[in-house]
Amino acid sequence: MNYGLYLSATGVQTSLHRQDVHANNLANVQTIGFKPDAVYTRERLPERIESNDPWASPMELLEQLGGGHLANPTRTLLTQGSLEPTGAPLDVALDGEGFLAVQSGNGETLYTRDGRLNLNADGELVLASNGMKVLNAQNRPIRLDPTAQLTISQDGAIQQNGTEHDRLSIMDAVDPAAVRKQGQNLYVIESVRLGTAQVQQGYTETSAANPIQALMSMTNAAKAVSANARMMQYHDHNLEELFGRVARVG
């Protein structure tokens, strides 16, 4: 069959995938603590090698063409966003490697870089965006005195009335590649260790997505789609010629 038709089709598919990922990065340029996803693509191996089928006979000529194009796993780029002063005492930004540990409604520990905090009606420290409880170093929610001034030092220690009241839990992923996004600025990390990030009170970390880069990649991918689609049309045309003219019976 016409091998090239499928190669061009994989080119269209991966380019569309690239557009999807960059569109999401671009949509999140104002999301506090957002980390952009990077798209990696790779050459696809010929089918005989990819499926490791010892019985398939090698077709050397075709295998020289390669097997097309595949999307590799998306990687979240944990680059530092710039810190923006807000002056609000319950805004913290992480400077360096690490995440704030929070507890979801069903008791699961999740991680975030979005340090816009708030107190809930019970006086517990929660995330302002979804109300999840922020955890201390002992993995317990942090209860504060709502009337007292709050100071959070760079090592995550929370001071109220001049004494250390509690300490934020700053954890980092053992393997930065195994950080999985869950939406709502949250990350699922299987294995963690102590993070090295410094806590900056009165700041938020802006989105690390680069809008210009994302837009360039989107337009670029659109061009790649159009080039590959054009190639498909040529393949189609060749087939049409083959069946309609060369291989016409009678």
By the rule CB under 8 A, 77 interacts with another protein: no
109 vs 220 by CB, closer to another protein: 220
CB-CB neighbours of 52 under 10 Å? 8
Q: Output the smallest distance, CB 162 to another protein, in A.
A: 15
**Rounded distance between C-alpha atoms, residue 112 and residue 66, angstroms:** 41
Smallest CA-to-CA distance from 175 within 185, 196, 189 is with 189
Query: Which long-range contacts link 59-68 to residues 24+ away (Cβ below 8 Å)?
Result: 62/3, 65/3, 65/4, 65/7, 66/7, 67/7, 67/10, 67/43, 68/6, 68/7, 68/9, 68/10, 68/11, 68/43, 68/44
By the rule CB under 8 A, 15 interacts with another protein: yes
Q: In sequence order, what DSSP letters do the residues of 95-139 get, joined into one string?
A: ESS-EEEEE-TTS-EEEES--BEEE-TTSBEEETTT-PEEBBTTS
Stretch that binds another protein, among 30-38, 57-65, 93-101, 163-171 (CB under 8 A): 30-38
By the rule CB under 8 A, 42 interacts with another protein: no
By the rule CB under 8 A, 24 interacts with another protein: yes
Residue 104 · residue 119 · CB < 8 Å: no
Among 31, 41, 104, 151, binds another protein (CB under 8 A): 31
By the rule CB under 8 A, 116 interacts with another protein: yes
By the rule CB under 8 A, 196 interacts with another protein: no
Among 41, 130, 151, 159, binds another protein (CB under 8 A): 130
Residue 73 · residue 37 · CB < 8 Å: no
197 vs 221 by CB, closer to another protein: 221
By the rule CB under 8 A, 108 interacts with another protein: no
Stretch that binds another protein, among 95-103, 141-149, 151-159, 191-199 (CB under 8 A): 141-149
Return the biggest CA–CA distance within the chain: 98
**Rounded distance between C-alpha atoms, residue 229 and residue 8, angstroms:** 7
By the rule CB under 8 A, 62 interacts with another protein: no
149 vs 154 by CB, closer to another protein: 149
Among 105, 162, 183, 250, binds another protein (CB under 8 A): 183
Q: List interacting residues with another protein (CB under 8 A).
A: 12, 15-17, 19-32, 34, 37, 50-52, 71-75, 87-88, 114, 116, 118-123, 128-131, 146-148, 177-178, 180-185, 211, 214-215, 218-219, 221-222, 225-226, 229, 232-233, 236-237
